[in-house]
Amino acid sequence: MSELVDLTATITEEMANHPNHGRSPLFLSGTRMNHDQAEDSWRGKGVEDLSLVNGFVYIAEHNGTHIDAPYHLHPDGKTIEELALSECHGPAVWLDVSDVGPYGEIGPDELAAAATEAGVTVESGDAVLLATGWDEHLPADRETYLGEHPGLSAAGAEWLFEREVSVVGIDCGNVDVAGDVSMPAHRVLLREGAPEEYTLIVENLRNVAAIPDHRFTFSAAPLPLSGATASPIRAFAIVD
Ligand SMILES: [Zn+2]
């Protein structure tokens, strides 16, 4: 029997959200009824014992746990609905890189050492999830979570890209180091081989180190939002 490990941040209006992504998410009031109100409205239509509620959520493509499409960085790259499901679901490993601190760079040495320690080899087609532990700053300290996180160096991103990794996921708001607006890791992963070759990026993961086995199946399927640069996902690990 497989075990499922949820790696997704709960979506709330208060969640840590990069300012680039606007005033989002919003759960718009006025479109939501509670069950008492709904029952009254059905009763008004002559129907007893029924209430049915629904809501409306406004959310940026890059809010919460999400996957970036190549189009995020390249004009000829695939948009999110053009990705095959098989690109977002498959074999995976997770690496413990929690030794890097604030603004720490995860480079080839850290990746290689973490793979050795985990007893795994990063193979072509693997998703690689990086456990920095940075999600532990939430919900108490969103400033540190958003403003001081570690990330992949350009060389670290190259190390993964050269191994034809399918997806790089991280438990920070950004795969690049906080404050580096030149986005070296994003460039390598989504732009360097574009539009044909790319490594997808998943950000804002949770609980990566809770996956009981370093090798597992990772699922990160996006909504097929037409023309979108990213999509929120329900990220989870399937462990046999
Ligand atoms: Zn993103």
Instruction: Say how many Å lie between the CA of residue 230 and the centre of ligand 1.
Output: 6
Asked if 51 contacts 39 with a C-beta cutoff of 8 angstroms, the reply is yes
Instruction: Say how many Å lie between the CA of residue 1 and the centre of ligand 1.
Output: 33
Q: Using one digit for the tens of pLDDT, what is the confidence trace for 153-199?
A: 999 999 999 999 999 999 999 999 999 999 999 999 999 999 999 99
The span from the CA of 177 to the CA of 154, in Å, is: 10
Q: φ and ψ at 34, to 5 degrees?
A: -85, 175
pLDDT at residue number 29: 66
The separation between CA 7 and the C-alpha centre of its own chain, rounded to angstroms, equals 9
Domain 66-239, CATH number (from 3.30.2010.10, 3.50.30.50, 3.40.640.10, 3.40.50.720): 3.50.30.50
Instruction: Say how many Å lie between the CA of residue 200 and the centre of ligand 1.
Output: 10
Asked if 119 contacts 214 with a C-beta cutoff of 8 angstroms, the reply is yes
Instruction: Say how many Å lie between the CA of residue 35 and the centre of ligand 1.
Output: 36
> Could you tell me the pTM of the whole model?
0.94
Q: 30 pLDDT exceeds 70?
A: no
Instruction: Say how many Å lie between the CA of residue 155 and the centre of ligand 1.
Output: 20
Instruction: Say how many Å lie between the CA of residue 41 and the centre of ligand 1.
Output: 40
Residue range 128-149: mean pLDDT, rounded? 96
Instruction: Say how many Å lie between the CA of residue 116 and the centre of ligand 1.
Output: 29
Which residue ranges make up each domain of the chain?
26-58, 66-239
